[in-house]
Structures are given as C-alpha cells and as structure tokens.
Amino acid sequence: MKFALLGSFCILTLFLKSNLGQQQDQSIPNSDEFFISQFFEKMGINSSKSSHFYNVSSYVCLWEVVFCDSKQQSVIGLVAPNLGLTGPMPDNTIGKLKKLQFLDLNSNQITNFSSDFWGLISLKSLNLSNNRFSVNLPTNIANFGSLVKLDLSFNNFTGSLPDSFSSLASLQVLNLNRNRFDSVIPLGMTSCHSLTYVDLSMNSFNGSLPKGFGTAFPKLKRLNLAANLISGRGFDVSKMVSLNYLNVSKNLFKGSVVEIFQGSLEMIDLSSNHFEGHISQVNFNISFDWSQLIHLDLSDNEISGMFFSNLTKAHNLKHLNLAKNRFFKQSFIQIDQLHSLEYLNLSETNIIGQIGDQISKLNHLKTLDLSNNHLAGKIPLLAFKNLINLDISNNNLTGDIPLTLLQKLPWMERFNFSYNNLTFCDYDISLETLRSAFIGSTNSCPIAANSTFFKEKLHKHRGLKLALGLAISLICLLIGLLLFAFWYRTRTRMWDAKGSCNEENIISGPFSFKTDSTTWVADVKVASLVPVVIFEKPLLNFTFSDLLSATSNFNQDTLLAEGRFGPVYHGFLGGVVHVAIKVLVHGSTITDQEAANELEYLGRIKHPNLVPLIGHCLAGDQRIMIYDYMENGNLHNFLYDLPLGVHVNEDWNTDTWEDQETNENGIQNVGPEALLVTWQFRHKIGLGTARALAFLHHGCSPPIIHRDVKASSVYLDYNLEPKLSDFGLSKIFENGVGDDLAHGSPGYTSPDDVVTPKSDVYGFGVVLLELITGKKPVGDEYPNDENWKAQDLVSWVRGLVRVNHGSQAIDPKIRATGNEGQMVEGLKIGYLCTADVPLKRPSMQQVVGLLKDIEPV
Ligand SMILES: *[C@@H]1O[C@H](CO)[C@@H](O)[C@H](O)[C@H]1NC(C)=O
Ligand SMILES: *[C@@H]1O[C@H](CO)[C@@H](O)[C@H](O)[C@H]1NC(C)=O
Ligand SMILES: *[C@@H]1O[C@H](CO)[C@@H](O)[C@H](O)[C@H]1NC(C)=O
Ligand SMILES: *[C@@H]1O[C@H](CO)[C@@H](O)[C@H](O)[C@H]1NC(C)=O
Ligand SMILES: *[C@@H]1O[C@H](CO)[C@@H](O)[C@H](O)[C@H]1NC(C)=O
Ligand SMILES: *[C@@H]1O[C@H](CO)[C@@H](O)[C@H](O)[C@H]1NC(C)=O
Ligand SMILES: *[C@@H]1O[C@H](CO)[C@@H](O)[C@H](O)[C@H]1NC(C)=O
Ligand SMILES: *[C@@H]1O[C@H](CO)[C@@H](O)[C@H](O)[C@H]1NC(C)=O
Ligand SMILES: *[C@@H]1O[C@H](CO)[C@@H](O)[C@H](O)[C@H]1NC(C)=O
Ligand SMILES: *[C@@H]1O[C@H](CO)[C@@H](O)[C@H](O)[C@H]1NC(C)=O
Ligand SMILES: *[C@@H]1O[C@H](CO)[C@@H](O)[C@H](O)[C@H]1NC(C)=O
C-alpha cells in the first residue's frame, strides 16, 4: 500500500524531472540531499559504488531510496534496507529530515539512534527490524505522536518499554519481536487504543499484564505475547472484539482456560503455560464461533476434564494440539467431523481404549501424535496420503503394523512405534531405524534372528529399483501368464508361472517361525534355491521363497491348525492355487532322500476320498507337505462349530452333486443349510471316510495304516465331499517320539498293543459314532437314564447299544431327517468297530459294505 502511494510520487518525479533536472552539482549544505548523502557516507557507503540508489549528480527526489512530497521539495520517505549501513546513526543526517514520514532501514547493522533522531515528529512508519540496536528505547519515543507502524523486531533492545508509549495514540502496528526487553509491559501501552497488531513475542517481558489490557484494544486483530515471562491469572479477551489471532504460548499464565473461548478467534495458542480448569465447561460458553477456528494449541498446560464436545463443530480446524495436560481418563476423541485436520497431537492426554476407526476419515492429516497414552488394540487404517509424521509410541497397542503403513515409511519424515506390543515384517528397515523407532516391537519376519541382515540392505535408489522390479515382474508375469494360459488351457486350474523371474529376489536364512505353541526353524541358506516339488507339474520352478510369499512368511494369520505333527498353513501358491501347507515340525531321522521317496509314493496315492498330496519341499530338517486346500474345513469343526463359516457353493445343485452316488441319494432338492444337518449327509461322510480307509488298507501294497483317524483328519472340500487327510505321515515321522504319536489322539485311541489296520477301524468307529450322536469322543455330556455314568462316547454308546437303547444316543438334530432304524444300525456298526479285541472288529472293506446297506435313499 505504502509503495502504491509512493509509486505515484515517482511518476510525479519523472514528470518534474525536466524542470528540476539541472540542480545536480554539489549537495547544498543543510538540504535533504545533503543530510541523506551524509548519512550514507558516514554509515560506510561509498557513493561512487552506489550510484544505482543514490547518485549525487542527480536530483535527490530521483534517488531510488528516496520518496518526496508531491511538490518534489521535501523528502518524506527513505527506504534503504539491506545496504550494509553500519554503526550508530550520526547526528545532523537523517535526524534533520523534518518532513520524513516513512523510514525503513531494516536489515542493516545500525547500533544506536542519533540524539536528533527524536525530532522526526512527522514519522508515521518506522522500520528498524533486523539491526544491531542493543540500547534502551528512550522515552523520547513519545515525540512520535503520529506513528502508525513501529517495527523494532530482531534487535537487542533491552530494559523497559517506556511508559511514554501512552503518547502513541495512532499506533496500529507494534512489533518488538525478538528483543531483550526485560520489564513489565507499561501501563502506558493501554492508551494505544488504535493497535491492531501487537507482537511482543520472544522477549523477557515479566510481571502481569497492565490493568485494563484486556479492554484497551477494541481493534486488536493479532496479539502475540509468546515466549516471555508474563504471569497472572486468566486472560480476558472478551473486549478484544476484533481478535482473531491470540498467541500467549510459553509464558507463566495461570487461571481458567475457559474464558478464552470468546468471539471468533481463528488461531489460539495457549501452549506451555499453567492454564487450568475443566475444559468441558467450554461447552457452555455459547459466545464462541467454532467454525472460525483453524488453529488450537492448548498443549503443555494443566487443563483437566474431558475433551470438549463442541470441538466437533470446528469444521475448519486444521491444527489441534491438546498434548500434555491433565485430562481425565477418556476414550478417543470424536474427530471424524474435523475433516480439515492436518495436525493432530493428543500425546499425553490420558486416552484409553482403542484408536477410533474414524481417524481413517482424516484425509488431510500430515501429523498424528498419539504417544504416551493408554491406547490398546490394533492400529486402525489411517489415511496415509499426506501423513508424514506419526508417533504412536508408549501405548499398549498390539497386533501387526499394517503393511500399507510400513510401505509408506520411506516417504515419511518421522515415525515412532516404540514401546508398544507391536509386530511387523519389513526387510528394508535399517538397523538405525529399528533402534530408534521400533524399540520393543517384534520383527515377525522369518529372519528376525539375525539383524545384521538389515544393515546389508541397500537404501539408495529404492524408488528406481521398485519401479524397475515392478516393470520386470509385470513383463515376466504377462509373458508367463500368456505361455501358461496357452499350455494349460485344458486344465481346470491355472498355475502362475515363475521360474525365470526371480532376479534379485534373494532372501536368505536360516528362517525361524513362531506359532502359539511352537517355534520351528528352516535351516536353508537361500530361499529361492530350495525347490518345491509339485508332482504332476515337474516343470514348475517353485521354491521355498514361493512358500514364504504364499503364507506371508508363515504368518500366524495364515495358520489353519496346529496338528500333532506341526502347524498347517494355507496360502495361494504362485498367487493362484489355494493350498494347505503342512510342516512336520518334530524332525525325523530318515534322510532327505528317504523322505523324498516316501513323499513321492504318497503323492501317487489317489482316491476321491483322500486329500491329495500335490507336492513337497524339504527345507533343512523340515519336511513340508503341500495339499489341495479344503475349503470347508474339517469334520470336527463342521460338527461342533456349525453352521457358521461354512462355504456353500452357490451353484451347488448343478455342480456339486453331479456325482452318481449323491444323485442316487436324491438330495439335490434340499437347501444347502438344511442339508448339512441330515442323516443323508452324515452317512455320506461316514461312507466316504470308510472308502478312503478301505482303499489305504486294501488297495495299497503294502497296506497303509493311517494311525490317526479322527474327525479333524476328515476334511470337506469345496463340494462338501469328505476327504481323509494325513495318511502315511507316520513313516516320514519315524523317530524317537514316533511311538507316542503312533497311538492316535485322545478319544480315538484303540486299546491295542500293536498298531494294525484294525486300529484305524477303531478310530473310524469313533468318527462314525460322532456322526450319528453329534457328540465329542471325550469331554462331552453323555446323558443316561440308567445308573451308570459314561466317561467317553465309546463306552456311552456301547452301553446303550448293548441294552438296545441305541436310539437314545441319536443326535436330536438329525433324528427327524431320516430313517431312525438306519441310524440305530449305524450305531451298531460303530459298536462293532470299537470292539476291545481287534479281531472282533470288521475290516474297512466290510464296514463299507455294512454302511452301504443302511444308505438312505
Ligand atoms: C570509495 O571508493 C573509492 C574508489 O573506489 C575509494 O578510493 C575510496 O577510498 C572509497 N571510500 C570509502 C569510504 O570506502
Ligand atoms: C548519475 O546521474 C547522472 C545524471 O543523471 C548520470 O549521467 C550518471 O551516469 C549517473 N551515474 C551513475 C554511476 O549512474
Ligand atoms: C546511544 O546514543 C545516545 C545518544 O543518542 C547516547 O546517549 C548513548 O550513550 C548511546 N548508547 C550507546 C550504547 O552508545
Ligand atoms: C519491516 O521490514 C521487514 C523486512 O522487510 C518486513 O518483514 C516488515 O513487515 C516490516 N515491518 C512493517 C511494520 O512494515
Ligand atoms: C544480540 O545479542 C546477542 C548476545 O549479545 C548476540 O549474540 C546477537 O547476535 C545479538 N543480536 C542482534 C540482532 O544484534
Ligand atoms: C522483571 O525483570 C527485571 C529484570 O530482570 C527485574 O528487575 C524485575 O524485578 C522483574 N519484574 C518482575 C515483576 O518480575
Ligand atoms: C506462537 O509464538 C511462538 C513463538 O514465537 C511460535 O513458535 C508459535 O508458532 C506461535 N504460534 C502460532 C499459532 O503462530
Ligand atoms: C456446546 O455444547 C453444549 C452441549 O455439549 C451445547 O449446549 C452448546 O450449545 C454448544 N455450544 C455451541 C456454541 O454450539
Ligand atoms: C499397558 O497395559 C499393562 C497391563 O494392562 C499396564 O500395566 C500398563 O501400565 C499399560 N501401559 C500403558 C502405557 O498404558
Ligand atoms: C503382547 O501381546 C501378546 C499377544 O498379542 C501378549 O501375549 C503379551 O502378553 C503382550 N505383552 C505385553 C507386555 O503386554
Ligand atoms: C548374522 O549374519 C552375519 C552375516 O550374514 C554373520 O556374520 C553373523 O555371525 C550372524 N549373527 C548371528 C548372531 O547369527
């Protein structure tokens, strides 16, 4: 504005140049020209080198730094910033410019005023910002009665601000930022009623504010008293009706915070004081316009109570800092309506419970600090797009750090996950970062055992590598997909091609994996060099690293079950084929070659009621077996956890039961859910399992004894066909602990001394009884009219069958779905199978025959 005004003087100046142009010889003593050139000269400026802003051979009003009045007679403005003016102002120079209204000497090295400086009584604007004044401000300042703007910021003014300030009745802008004033703010200042902008920040003003400070400035828009030593109780802004910026941070203010919320403040910074009071009471102050609020910092005070509910009305809030106060224990703040929020700091605010999911709605968030609270539960999804600062340290958070978040870290400026109970998996984190930002977190990556690995990771050119890797992978994937789509056109399943694409993809072991009950180690050097054999597709070059990626490094989340032999995981091999991956954890004494031979043999055993073993991987000591994934889980879950979670084929009337047997059953018309609890379906499972065992016992040479027939070994595939799993494992498992394992599971174990096929018959008998009674082999309730008390399913059913009360044992859920006589017969077959003496038990072939006799039609 000033320059616009002065600009018009310049135009006038040019216009008048022709008339006055010839007055340029030597400066006339005591002319404005003389005073100014003297000023520059004495302040160390060499005229011959500075012709661009003052050329003594041209008229003063034409000098770049000078502004004259409309008559081009008197200098009214001198704007000479950043010229290297050094030292105290000399007397008889600019102090003599009687008409001077604007003086801007900012960014020089001036150290003191001249004694005649205070004669510049016309001065309206004085800018001495960023100089080297290290003196007191004299009371003579009172001479400047017309002063509108005073900027003395960035100097070293000391002592007190003179009380004569009271004379500056026109003063609108006062900037004393960054000096060393060290007194109370003078009462005189409260006479400056025109002030609109006051910045006294970063001094050492002390004491309390002068009386009447709150009511003195009706036009004040901006008040910054930050970083002083000002004390006093409360802060009444109710009469500062124009105020929209209030910064009193880093002082010693006390008293209630409540009264500050008045009018229509946009920026409030009360941080680092001793403000107190129940913030909840702010709710009842209806004279505050929350929609104006953009910036609110109440951090580091002694405010108590609960977060204010009216905060959600602050739709335009961008910056919210409530950190370090004495709030009551409370749950996460309701913030989803604060959609403009860019900065949120709730550190040390006594929050309990979980991080609200609503936080994911804050799209603009750049900084989020929730550290030092009592937050528990998992890290919710965050809106990461703009997030560059994240601190959630010192809480009680659990679970995995979301992968999406980990991937974002390289683009973030700062993050801290320390002192929680978090797990994560990221190979690319440097040791340094681990030690600063992940203290106490668990790296659940398989290579966690040796952290030197991280050091060796390169960090440079990451983006490039990523892009390159991505491009190569994409090309490989495309070519691979095309090739294999062609080759395997006729197959129902498509395998993803891999093989040639494992450039740079070197993951090295040994690898260690944890489940709830065990830790297993795969002692392999380079994951991509350990082959996975897929029997029917020998050309596919899958490796251990494909198993790692299929199961997210054998992540607990992919764990299907923990069997007696070890954990079973599932995943998509090559990203396409859903497989179950069983790890035989307890080691084995047979050699790799023997194990491979045995597994190859098992891979050749095919039967519609056996879960096919499709491949294996020998990773160090671990024998890893790969099976088709059974979508509908095992019979144990099916019987006792149903009907929740069962996969039901949508097209199931056409696809599922196309099998001859099931068509004979005539059950196509039954709805899916109802069908799961029918005698027909239970019978079908029993018969399928019996067929599988008959095949192992009689169709294989030498016969294969399963040794662990139980409900949880019977799986249900996508089409709800029963399939027996885990056959033939004991051989691969033979070692010291083998005996213990060979005896089967509790409730299914035959009393036999020697394990024979008849031991499997016993186990099958128990499964059959489960199918008909719906009761667990042990630990269930076995109700009885008679006086005896059964300890387990077998003795209960046998007891009832023996006295012809078998029908009492039938699962009430299926009783009405079929012929009860058939069900009682089924119990009798179970009775035969569970005979104490192995010889009295029928063979599996006979069992199949018996079951077919009672097949429901
Ligand atoms: C000004 O510059 C001239 C020529 O460059 C030099 O002779 C003279 O000493 C300088 N004066 C000051 C005060 O630096
Ligand atoms: C100073 O002003 C005169 C007259 O306008 C001009 O001739 C001369 O070149 C200027 N000197 C410099 C160094 O610009
Ligand atoms: C600053 O200048 C005043 C005269 O204007 C003088 O009295 C005072 O001693 C000077 N202070 C210093 C530190 O030079
Ligand atoms: C004083 O000059 C500085 C530097 O140019 C500027 O930032 C400041 O706004 C000026 N002060 C006033 C009151 O105009
Ligand atoms: C103020 O004084 C301090 C210490 O005497 C000095 O370091 C600093 O540079 C001075 N600042 C200015 C703007 O003169
Ligand atoms: C303010 O600071 C000055 C200088 O340190 C000291 O003399 C004065 O007593 C202080 N005033 C108050 C009210 O603390
Ligand atoms: C308040 O002033 C302090 C000190 O000058 C500064 O650091 C802070 O950013 C200011 N707050 C706002 C909201 O401008
Ligand atoms: C603040 O919230 C309270 C209730 O929580 C309500 O009574 C009051 O009207 C709200 N104030 C404003 C300005 O919305
Ligand atoms: C975390 O939870 C434990 C047990 O509940 C508790 O002892 C501990 O103080 C909590 N830590 C934090 C930071 O809340
Ligand atoms: C960490 O979490 C795990 C499970 O999430 C829990 O078993 C363990 O006790 C927790 N540790 C602490 C110190 O809270
Ligand atoms: C970790 O690996 C490095 C090199 O891969 C090896 O030198 C070091 O001995 C290993 N440390 C441990 C504790 O296994």
Residue-level pLDDT at 749: 87
Above 50 in pLDDT, residue 669? no
Smallest CA-to-CA distance from 42 within 104, 94, 81, 79 is with 94
What does the alpha-carbon distance between residue 384 and residue 409 come to, in Å, rounded to a whole number? 10
336 Cα to the center of ligand 8, angstroms = 18
Residues in contact with ligand 3 (CB, 6 Å cut-off): 112-115, 135
Q: Where in the chain is the domain with CATH 1.10.510.10?
A: 636-652+671-857
Mean pLDDT confidence for 404-431 = 85
Above 80 in pLDDT, residue 50? no
Q: Where in the chain is the domain with CATH 3.30.200.20?
A: 508-629
Mean pLDDT confidence for 225-249 = 90
What does the alpha-carbon distance between residue 626 and residue 614 come to, in Å, rounded to a whole number? 6
Confidence of residue 663 (pLDDT cuts 50, 70, 90): very low
Please state which CATH number belongs to domain 27-132.
3.80.10.10
Burial of 30 (0-12, 13-18, 19+ CB in 10 A): exposed
Q: What tens digit of pLDDT does each residue of 196-219 get?
A: 999 999 999 999 999 989 889 999
Burial of 205 (0-12, 13-18, 19+ CB in 10 A): buried
131 Cα to the center of ligand 5, angstroms = 10
- 440 CB under 6 A from ligand 10? no
Confidence of residue 783 (pLDDT cuts 50, 70, 90): confident
What does the alpha-carbon distance between residue 465 and residue 449 come to, in Å, rounded to a whole number? 26
Residue-level pLDDT at 507: 65
DSSP assignments along 1-66, one per residue: -HHHHHHHHHHHHHHHHHHHTT--SSPPTTSHHHHHHHHHHHTT--GGG-TTT--TTS-GGGSTTE
Q: Which two tokens stand for residue 336?
A: 């989803």
Confidence of residue 279 (pLDDT cuts 50, 70, 90): confident
Confidence of residue 484 (pLDDT cuts 50, 70, 90): low
Percent of the residues in the chain that have a pLDDT greater than 90, as a whole number? 40
Q: What tens digit of pLDDT does each residue of 830-854 get?
A: 999 999 989 889 999 989 999 998 8
Smallest CA-to-CA distance from 823 within 840, 841, 811, 835 is with 811
Q: What tens digit of pLDDT does each residue of 52-102 get?
A: 677 777 888 888 889 999 888 889 999 999 989 999 999 999 999 999 999
For residues 501 and 476, the answer to whether their CB atoms sit within 8 Å is yes
Active site (catalytic) residues = 708
- Ligand having the closest approach to the CA of 282: 8
**DSSP character at residue 227:** S
Q: What are phi and psi of 560, to 5 degrees?
A: -90, -45
Above 70 in pLDDT, residue 471? no
- Ligand having the closest approach to the CA of 400: 10
**pTM of full prediction above 0.75:** no
Question: Which range (231-235, 290-294, 665-669) has the least confidence?
Answer: 665-669
Q: Which two tokens stand for residue 687?
A: 């018969």
Residue-level pLDDT at 229: 96
Q: Which one has a higher pLDDT value, 540 or 479?
A: 540
Residues in contact with ligand 2 (CB, 6 Å cut-off): 51, 55, 57-58
Above 70 in pLDDT, residue 123? yes
The identity of residue 346, as a single letter, is L
Residues in contact with ligand 8 (CB, 6 Å cut-off): 283, 286, 309-310, 313
Smallest CA-to-CA distance from 122 within 138, 145, 139 is with 145
CA 229 from chain center: how many Å? 40
353 SS3 class: strand
What does the alpha-carbon distance between residue 543 and residue 574 come to, in Å, rounded to a whole number? 10
183 Cα to the center of ligand 6, angstroms = 6
Burial of 52 (0-12, 13-18, 19+ CB in 10 A): exposed
Q: What tens digit of pLDDT does each residue of 701-759 get?
A: 788 888 889 998 999 888 889 999 888 776 666 543 445 445 577 888 888 888 889 99
What does the alpha-carbon distance between residue 161 and residue 138 come to, in Å, rounded to a whole number? 8
CATH superfamily of 508-629: Phosphorylase Kinase; domain 1 (3.30.200.20)
What is the C-alpha R_g of the chain? 43
- From its phi and psi, is residue 566 left (phi > 0), alpha (psi between -120 and 50) or beta? left
Q: Where in the chain is the domain with CATH 3.80.10.10?
A: 27-132
Top-level class of domain 636-652+671-857: mainly alpha
Residue-level pLDDT at 383: 67
For residues 387 and 362, the answer to whether their CB atoms sit within 8 Å is no
Smallest CA-to-CA distance from 663 within 855, 531, 465, 432 is with 855
- 226 CB under 6 A from ligand 7? yes
Instruction: Give the chain's mean pLDDT.
Output: 81
Above 80 in pLDDT, residue 162? yes
Nearest CA owner, ligand 9 atom 1: 396
What does the alpha-carbon distance between residue 249 and residue 438 come to, in Å, rounded to a whole number? 32
Residues whose CB is less than 8 angstroms from the CB of residue 650 and which lie 6 or more positions away in sequence, other chains included = none
Smallest CA-to-CA distance from 286 within 265, 269, 261, 268 is with 261
